[in-house]
Structure 1
Amino acid sequence: MGIITTKDGTEIFYKDWGPKDAQPIVFHHGWPLSADDWDSQMMYFLLKGYRVIAHDRRGHGRSTQTDTGNEMDTYAADVAALTDHLDLKGAVHIGHSTGGGEVARYVARAKPGRVAKAVLIGAVPPIMLKTAAYPGGLPIEVFDGFRAALLANRAQFFLDVPTGPFFGFNRPGAKVDQGVIWNWWRQGMAGGTKAHYDCIKAFSETDFTEDLKAITVPTLVMHGEDDQIVPIAASALLSVKLLKHGTLKTYPGLPHGMCTTHADVVNPDLLAFIKG
């Protein structure tokens, strides 16, 4: 583990495991979580001989609970600062949900040689919000509801989300994993309310269309077909069309949190893409 301090004084916590001369894989977590959400993937790829890195986004986890800079340009700048600090070359950047938006913005602007490939999993691009350009998006009232629930009782909200739609535990016959629910809650409650509140706007209203068009590296778009958080029709199915070298892989019946519930399915597919 380590900490870097950005230009505005924010401390970004990160994990950096494995041989420093191995190919780096950088993981970008979703809202409102932390680097810990990638434990299954970090250990899988570490044991395959890769260098694995994951950071807590500003305002999340063990990073500074910032009241400013909680938007995509700054998130991407923080990633650039981390990759510069570690001098990563030929890295694979993997982002889930909000982290997928962070990957899109960072990779589109990354210095030459820093990035080899990218992966967007259950990711928010091109934009979650319903707009004239993207009429299939979700209405602003959905995100206003998130904000209201966060302000009313963040602790309860952070139980309701993983207990229900995030992992698909609200589906008939679903096998509910209480440990997974509490681990989600633990990660969420470690972050700052102000940063989490701001991030709702960042993940829902940021338009990544131009970022996706600017990405030149091979990019894998993975999405659960039963994703109740980021509906596939308004995200993955559109994003892959904007990418120069995009590949789409969808998973029937799998939820938004499939990296946790179905790591045994997701991890080998990630490995095949990285090695391919």
Structure 2
Amino acid sequence: MPTITTEDGTEIFYKDWGSGQPIVFSHGWPLSSDDWDSQMLFFLRNGYRVIAHDRRGHGRSAQVSEGHDMDHYADDLAAVTAHLDLSDAVHIGHSTGGGEVVRYLARHGESRVAKAALLAAVPPLMVRTDAYPGGLPKSVFDDLQNQLAANRSEFYRALPSGPFYGFNRPGAELSEALVQNWWRQGMMGSAKAHYDGIVAFSQTDFTEDLKKITVPTLVMHGDDDQIVPYENSAPLSAELLRNGTLKTYTGFPHGMPTTHAETINADLLEFIRQ
């Protein structure tokens, strides 16, 4: 398997397919690069080089005990891009991966980057604070940690069966295959990494990071996102970005890159080609 070893000795698995302008994908919690299958194959067929890695503690990357925070996530992404010597890259992040992309751009600069896209992403900040009163109470994320610690396997069945893909909405048709694939990806990773990752994605404030980003950035979010509520995320991120564009999808769930891959892929391709 293709891997790199970071400065702190963590082995990171990555995929690197095709040639052409590179598109780099950062996955959501608690999944892996496999969650980008639809996008990677689509853009590969459209003449792009596609790259995705498994975040530390996720998928096939090393199940290390420490470093499950946004700074390490961003540094690991930077290590992959440096190892592959990428330039003129488009970075696409979903959910926690969107936070990873934002922190990477703010922390490591934009010299290798042409554009970015944030899909149902966690910035600017998920938890409720005085600055973000529309955020979710910390108790919501404490409960996620408690469910993970009590029975991770059961928790990883319930989340995709319900709010992640919107299968709990009236008239929605549950896809058992999608639920099983989500469960498979989640259970490949480390319980410790996933437990700590809940704090990373919910309590990291990306406000100042977003202000630093100058490359064209497309902010894509469904208004029926039950995981990262729309009102306190996408519109605020688009306002903070210097060159941000907001695209809102009526009725789309958090897992829209999977449930609505055809629409998302087409819109991403249009943005990249602009």
Query: TM range, normalised to the smaller chain?
Result: over 0.9
User: For each residue in 1:235-256, what CA deviation from the matched residue of structure 2 results, as whole angstroms up to 9, or x when unmatched?
Assistant: 0011100000000001001100
Match for residue 52 of structure 1 among 30, 50, 53: 50
CA distance in 1 between partners of 2:99 and 2:64 (Å): 19
User: For each residue in 1:135-181, what CA deviation from the matched residue of structure 2 results, as whole angstroms up to 9, or x when unmatched?
Assistant: 00000000000000000000000000000000000001001110000
What is the CA RMSD across the aligned residues, in angstroms? 0.7
Match of 2:233 in 1: 235
* Partner secondary structure for residue 259 of structure 1: helix
Match for residue 83 of structure 2 among 57, 82, 85: 85
* Partner secondary structure for residue 14 of structure 1: strand
* Partner secondary structure for residue 99 of structure 1: helix
| Equivalences for residues 105-124 of structure 1 within 5 A | 105-124=103-122
Match of 1:198 in 2: 196
- How far 1:109 moved relative to its partner? 2.6
Match of 2:4 in 1: 4
CA distance in 1 between partners of 2:107 and 2:197 (Å): 21
Aligned residue pair count: 274
Match of 1:142 in 2: 140
CA distance in 2 between partners of 1:239 and 1:254 (Å): 18
CA distance in 2 between partners of 1:104 and 1:220 (Å): 12
| Equivalences for residues 1-276 of structure 1 within 5 A | 2-19=2-19, 22-276=20-274
CA distance in 1 between partners of 2:177 and 2:130 (Å): 41
CA distance in 1 between partners of 2:173 and 2:165 (Å): 10
The percent of aligned pairs where both chains have the same amino acid is 68
* Partner secondary structure for residue 151 of structure 2: helix
Structure 2 gap ranges (5+) = none
CA distance in 1 between partners of 2:169 and 2:110 (Å): 44
CA distance in 2 between partners of 1:131 and 1:103 (Å): 23
* Partner secondary structure for residue 155 of structure 2: helix
CA distance in 1 between partners of 2:210 and 2:110 (Å): 17
CA distance in 2 between partners of 1:87 and 1:80 (Å): 10
- Aligned in 2, Cα 1:239/1:112: closer, same or farther, shift over 3 Å? closer
Structure 1 gap ranges (5+) = none
CA distance in 2 between partners of 1:66 and 1:131 (Å): 31
- How far 1:133 moved relative to its partner? 0.4
Letter in 2 for 1:121: L
Could you list the structure 1 runs, at least 4 aligned residues long, displaced by more than 3 angstroms after superposition: none
* Partner secondary structure for residue 250 of structure 1: strand
User: For each residue in 1:154-212, what CA deviation from the matched residue of structure 2 results, as whole angstroms up to 9, or x when unmatched?
Assistant: 00000000000000000010011100000000000000000000000000000000110
CA distance in 2 between partners of 1:39 and 1:227 (Å): 21
Letter in 2 for 1:107: L
